[in-house]
Amino acid sequence: MSDQSSSKIISETISNTSNESGNNFGFIESVTDINNRKDNLIKTETVGHASVKSIVPLELLRHIYLPQKPHDRIFDPTTRTISYLQPRSYLPVNSLIQGEKKRILVTGGAGFVGSHLVDRLMLIGHEVIVLDNFFTGRKNNLAHWIGHPNFELIRHDVVDPFLIEVDQIYHLACPASPPHYQYNPIKTVKTSVMGTINMLGLAKRVKARFLLTSTSEVYGDPEEHPQAETYWGHVNPIGPRACYDEGKRVAETLTYAYMHQDSVDVRVARIFNTFGPRMNENDGRVVSNFIMQALKGEELTIYGDGLQTRSFQYVHDLVDGLILLMNKDYMEPINLGNPDEYTIREFAELIRNEVNSSSKIKTLPAPTDDPKKRRPDILRAEQILGWKPRWPVKQGIGETVKYFKRQMEAGLIG
């Protein structure tokens, strides 16, 4: 079978099976059928890693977050009304035998990163339970799984205790963008501290493996460049970002205290700037700000001189890293980020060109404690996980721009 033929199987599987309700969830072939012919599909674009059996055809994921047509709603632009459709079927998921199928809890699973992680875990074939208080998460990010036998969505705040029997816990719950975590700094600290205590306590009770999604913010405004996991950071403990920065630092302290004192099986991922579909258009992050401003023809706002640097990774690379880390026998912190470094001004120009916008760039005063440089040292991830970013930033920007355009066309953002 040629590479073109194998690609055609996937695309026809997705595009030719819309039912009479307008729902295009149906599929001719299952993921298992496609995986059974993996030798013939070896060059088909995929995400995931064979070492942890997480490989998924990229077209299946794109069918979720970049559907040709909205698969759960009809939007009438004249009356600006939405009719929600009743799903009749779901994307095919792998059928795992009893010893391979895990019950996995994802806190913050309705958020940007969490929902992509849930998609991947579901397609792999696991049972997934999502906890989210929907402060920044959205039900729409998971609507395509609601009602599935392997999926459960629970509105719950991790600040309050929660009991359930699970095998693994991905702890993502915490607002991650400055406008959101600074909106209620006390709540942000509580989420990082009390929420982490509750989830570590749960992991201890049920003997589940626990993965904390920490952040590159633990390095603060770094005096070391690039930042390796051995760097202790340069953080202002009383500044406007401290509720998040120090909250995550304490979360790491708690994680290793539970490991040393109570033998909890832990993993810690320090996540650098990540972007992709399902970002909140109002979250104040560089990527979403620039894309929305460019699409609206507004000026692109840069804070400071625009020479501060950031490293941006596409969300698929991050999810790959999280799943690899969860399934590796390694307990030290690991950076997950793209070492390609851009100035903020360069990134604004990249997005403006991708949108083909004539928007001008204007500068505003730099926010307090804004890091001058941010770039991960990923040697540990490469050596321990066999992981490194595979998505070019420009390709990721293209998909993200397409996502925001479709959200605007569907009347979901303005």
Find residue 152's DSSP bridge partners. Answer: 129
Q: Does 4 or 158 have the greater pLDDT score?
A: 158
Query: pLDDT over 90 for what percent of the chain?
Result: 60
Give me the pLDDT at residue 286, please.
Answer: 86
Q: What is the pLDDT of residue 82?
A: 77
Q: 216 pLDDT exceeds 70?
A: yes
Residue 307 has pLDDT above 80, yes or no: yes
Pairing label, strands 274-275, 266-271: unpaired
Catalytic residue among 244, 258, 314, 342: 244
Q: What is the pLDDT of residue 251?
A: 98
Q: What domain count does the chain have? A: 1
Average pLDDT over residues 279-283: 85
Please state which of the ranges 125-139, 144-158, 339-353 shows the lowest mean pLDDT: 339-353
Residue 200: what pLDDT?
98
pLDDT score, position 215: 95
CA-CA distance, 176 to 169, in Å (whole number)? 19
Residue 43 has pLDDT above 60, yes or no: no
| pLDDT at 396 exceeding the cut of 70 | yes
Q: What is the pTM of this model?
A: 0.84
Q: Is residue 81 part of a domain?
A: no
88 belongs to a structural domain? no
Nearest-5° Cα angle at 104, 199 to 96: 165
Residue at 38 is within a domain: no
| 63 — pLDDT class (breaks 50, 70, 90) | confident
Asked which of 30-34, 161-165, 278-282 is least confident by mean pLDDT, the reply is 30-34
Specify if 67 maps to a domain.
Answer: no
| CATH number for the domain that contains residue 340 | 3.40.50.720
What percentage of the chain exceeds 70 in pLDDT? 88
Would you put residue 80 in left (φ > 0), alpha (ψ -120 to 50) or beta? left
- Least confident interval from 102-116, 174-188, 376-390: 174-188
Domain ranges, residue 360: 101-410
Model confidence at 99: pLDDT above 70: yes
Residue 83 lies in a domain: no
Residue 269 Cα distances to 28, 105, 156, 181, 213, angstroms? 37, 17, 23, 19, 5
Other Cβ atoms closer than 10 A to 97: 7
pLDDT at 128: 98
Q: Are strands 73-76 and 81-84 parallel, antiparallel or unpaired?
A: antiparallel
Mean pLDDT of 46-64: 91
pLDDT at 88: 61
Q: Taking 70 as the threshold, does the pLDDT of residue 23 lie above it? A: no
Res 19 pLDDT > 70: no
Query: Residue 313: which pLDDT band, with cuts at 50, 70 and 90?
Result: very high
Question: Can you read off the two tokens belonging to residue 303?
Answer: 């804070």
Cβ contact 348:287 at 8 Å: no
Per-residue pLDDT band at 70 (split at 50, 70, 90): low
Name the band, by pLDDT with cuts 50, 70 and 90, for residue 25: very low
Give the pLDDT of residue 327: 97
Mean pLDDT of 180-187: 86
Model confidence at 9: pLDDT above 50: no
Token pair for 1: 């079978």
Annotation says 244 is catalytic: yes
Query: In this predicted model, which residue has the larger pLDDT, 347 or 172?
Result: 172
Closest by alpha carbon to 363, among 351, 348, 342, 341? Answer: 348
Q: Is residue 32 one of the residues assigned to a domain?
A: no
Region of 306 (left: φ > 0; alpha: ψ -120 to 50; beta: rest) is left
User: How do residues 361-390 score in pLDDT, each as one tens digit?
Assistant: 888 888 887 788 889 999 999 999 999 999
- Lowest mean per-residue pLDDT among 2-16, 101-115, 150-164, 174-188: 2-16
Residue 18 has pLDDT above 70, yes or no: no
Whether 396 is in a domain gets the answer yes
Instruction: Give the per-residue pLDDT at 87.
Output: 57
Interatomic CA distance for residues 216 and 241, integer angstroms: 13
CA–CA separation, 79 and 31 (whole Å):
39
Does 354 have pLDDT greater than 50? yes
The mean per-residue pLDDT over the stretch 257-262 comes to: 98
Q: Would residue 69 count as lying in a domain?
A: no
* Residue whose token pair is 């009304």: 81
| pLDDT over 80 (residue 187) | yes
| DSSP for 305-333, written as a single string | TS--EEE-EEHHHHHHHHHHHHTSS--S-
Decide if pLDDT at 260 tops 50. yes
**pLDDT score of 413:** 81
Q: Which of 40-49, 79-88, 170-179 has the highest mean pLDDT?
A: 170-179
